Structure 1
């Protein structure tokens, strides 16, 4: 079963890379807003260069906040910000932060082929000063999931109970926004996203339909053979009698 993991697949070189791309959507338009790619990757400039982030052209570390962040180390890193707040980046974890102007941080998955996909996602506040943020999953201009996080360590998960039929090159967006308080301070949010493609799900109905069609033809042929044999036997039986009139 093909599987994609946001943390395992994170690219330190290209955006987009494989099925993943990192960017933003404008304030107030997390569903239908135009997706804009982040343009550059920067390490934390002080004492935590193991933490890197994709930013847009108007953002660097400790300015607008809007970005997708990654811990390159296989261990937790506790980052102390210039204002003394701390962020706990989990080992090889991906985090998202909205912009101070209300723009949404977006991780986009683009389906590589037609199929039925299973989503397994968890969003978790990792800022010690966290208040409110909003998280969303959007597919084809349809909100699959929308929920708020409130307070340090708050965590919410979404997993499809069945699967979602997605066509090749269609996007699924995983989004973090400012939430109920409408401010971006302390909104750093860990995003664990795992996606599985169920094999042979799209083709199965076609195959089943073809088998049913063939079996129908065979069954009809058998019935016709029985009918004509029965009819032939009756005609042969009637031929043995002399009709007297």
Structure 2
């Protein structure tokens, strides 16, 4: 069974990396907005270099806030009012309303099970919007985190959702109902796995073949039976005439 984890798979080298991409969407367009890749990774410059972030070409630490952050240590790191759990990913929207986006691009057709949790990790947190968008078309989930340590989770059914190869699923953090980006640092835990060897299609195909086989056999038997009856009636008629 193929599995992916946003935290375990986080790349410190390239973007995109495998199925994951880090970037942004424009203000007010979290669904169909154009996805822009972040271009460079930077360490926190004021004594917490274990915390890194992917930024866009117009952005850096403490400029617009917009980034996807990562704690490279396996233990918690406290940075002012923010507590970064060990080896965790956090997301923060921009001061101009742009959305922070982690994109998962499906490598093949199949049923994918999504399991995601978002939580405030800033002590002064107020409102933050969280969204999961499928293929730039459909909102799978939309919630608002409210207050410090607020946490919300989303999970598909165990059967997952059917997705074609190379279709994106965007995990998004925005400014929320208060329209204020301050204190919106949000933990993002995302785990995805692909259900292998799906029985659905083979079972359906097999059932159809079985039913068709029975139907064809019944039709052939009926034709043969009518043929035998017609032969018998013809023979009887011939004997009566003679």
Equivalent residue number for residue 93 of structure 2 = 98
Please report the RMSD computed on the Cα atoms of aligned residues, expressed in angstroms: 2.0
CA distance in 2, matches of 1:103, 1:16: 19
The answer to whether residue 153 in structure 2 is matched with residue 160 in structure 1 is: no
TM-score, normalised to structure 2, is 0.91
Equivalent residue number for residue 147 of structure 1 = 143
Cα shift at 1:95: 0.1
Equivalent residue number for residue 51 of structure 1 = 51
Secondary structure of 1:227's aligned partner: helix
Equivalent residue number for residue 72 of structure 1 = 72
Equivalent residue number for residue 83 of structure 1 = none
Q: Label 1:215 to 1:16 Cα distance change in 2 as closer, same or farther (>3 A).
A: same
CA distance in 2, matches of 1:227, 1:142: 52
Equivalent residue number for residue 137 of structure 1 = 132
Equivalent residue number for residue 108 of structure 2 = 113
Secondary structure of 2:123's aligned partner: coil
Q: How many residues align?
A: 238
TM-score, normalised to structure 1, is 0.90
CA distance in 1, matches of 2:124, 2:15: 30
| Unaligned stretches of 5+ residues in structure 2 | none
Q: Deviations over 1:40-95 (max 9, x none)?
A: 10111121111110011111111111000001111111112xxxxx2110111000
CA distance in 2, matches of 1:12, 1:216: 55
CA distance in 2, matches of 1:53, 1:166: 30
Q: Quick check: 23-32 or 10-19, which moved more?
A: 23-32
Q: Label 1:200 to 1:236 Cα distance change in 2 as closer, same or farther (>3 A).
A: same
1:207-222 equivalences in 2 (<5 Å):
207-222=202-217
